[in-house]
Amino acid sequence: MVSAADFACIREFLRRRSGVVIDASKGYLVEARLLPVVRQHRYTGLEVLFGRLRQGGDLALERDVLNAMMTHETSFFRDKSPFETVKKILPDLLQRRSVSRHLTIWSAAASTGQEAYSLAMLLGEHFRGLLAGWRVRILATDISDVVLERARAGSYSELEVARGLPAEYRQKYFVPLLGRWSIAQDCRKMVEFRQFNLTGSWQGIPACDIVFLRNVLIYFDIPTRKAIVERMRTVLRPDGCLFIGGAETLLGVSDSYDRIEGVGCGYYRPKPPR
């Protein structure tokens, strides 16, 4: 069991390092996720891990704890509606970008890469001709270097490709390799993976046409959500589109966006300056 003092320790560590806030009822989750780290570092128990964490200075341990405590649930074409909405709004958006011929999409909590690669497949399947000669950039970021390593590898199990991926897409955009499925090169080259902390510096984030910030705001407290959403306005183009999770809302977080109805879901666009 995780003691009250140890729970307070991990809670403060996560808040300071990532902005993530865990509920007081999640002691069981802390134990389940950190026991593998205990074994990995050959500690005798959780109390040793927390003792080392309090001492500070062990960057490898801090990295492993942070990676273990992050939630990485994802799948190909997760929730479907945002991707159908992108299909609907993209022709008009491309028309408005016809002079620059640049399109930038940001998957801001990319996890193991399924969301970013889904966007690449969507563009290849439905807009390949329209985007010929364009500079298309899909930036995929996550705080965890462990999941980004998996994302860059682009190799998925049978179970992972079965979750949300149409069978015909598996045949067109994946290559079987050593009992797994490897993302094809034409999709892989569209995606750039980068480690990034939403509560840290945003230097280097480009101006974006579409941002997927899905199922991540729920892990932050209200002040942190507000800060992230307001900073998003500095990189989202005035006519750009922000997608958040289906269970998330900007109500009580920001009144700087208009909600626009899409295909089975809504998305947000920055309100014009007054």
Q: How much is the pLDDT for 56?
A: 87
Confidence of residue 18 (pLDDT cuts 50, 70, 90): confident
Using the predicted structure, report yes or no on whether residue 178 has a pLDDT greater than 80: yes
Domain covering 4-69, topology = Chemotaxis Receptor Methyltransferase Cher; domain 1 (1.10.155)
Partners of 20 in the β-ladder: 220
Q: Where is pLDDT greater, at 19 or 24? A: 19
Q: Which of 20-24, 52-56, 162-166, 182-186 has the lowest mean pLDDT?
A: 20-24
- Judge whether 142 counts as a catalytic residue: yes
Domain ranges of the chain: 4-69, 81-270
Using the predicted structure, report yes or no on whether residue 38 has a pLDDT greater than 80: yes
Using the predicted structure, report yes or no on whether residue 68 has a pLDDT greater than 90: no
Confidence of residue 15 (pLDDT cuts 50, 70, 90): confident
Q: How much is the pLDDT for 260?
A: 97
Contacts of 9 (CB under 8 A, 6+ apart): 50, 53, 54
Confidence of residue 25 (pLDDT cuts 50, 70, 90): confident
Q: What percent of the chain has pLDDT over 90?
A: 78
Confidence of residue 17 (pLDDT cuts 50, 70, 90): confident
Mean model confidence pLDDT for the chain? 93
Task: Give me the mean pLDDT over the 214-229 stretch.
Answer: 94
- Judge whether 255 counts as a catalytic residue: no
Q: How much is the pLDDT for 27?
A: 81
Partners of 258 in the β-ladder: 269
Task: Give me the mean pLDDT over the 56-72 stretch.
Answer: 87
Q: Which of 142, 209, 214, 225 is catalytic?
A: 142
CA distances from 131 to 76, 84, 107, 116, 139 (A): 22, 18, 19, 17, 17
Q: How much is the pLDDT for 126?
A: 96
Q: How much is the pLDDT for 215?
A: 92
Q: pLDDT tens for residues 98-116? A: 999 999 999 999 999 999 9
Partners of 112 in the β-ladder: none
Strand arrangement of the beta sheet that strand 155-156 belongs to: 155-156, 180-183, 174-177
Query: Beta strand pairing status for 191-195 and 135-142?
Result: parallel
Using the predicted structure, report yes or no on whether residue 171 has a pLDDT greater than 90: yes
pTM: 0.89
CATH code for 81-270?
3.40.50.150
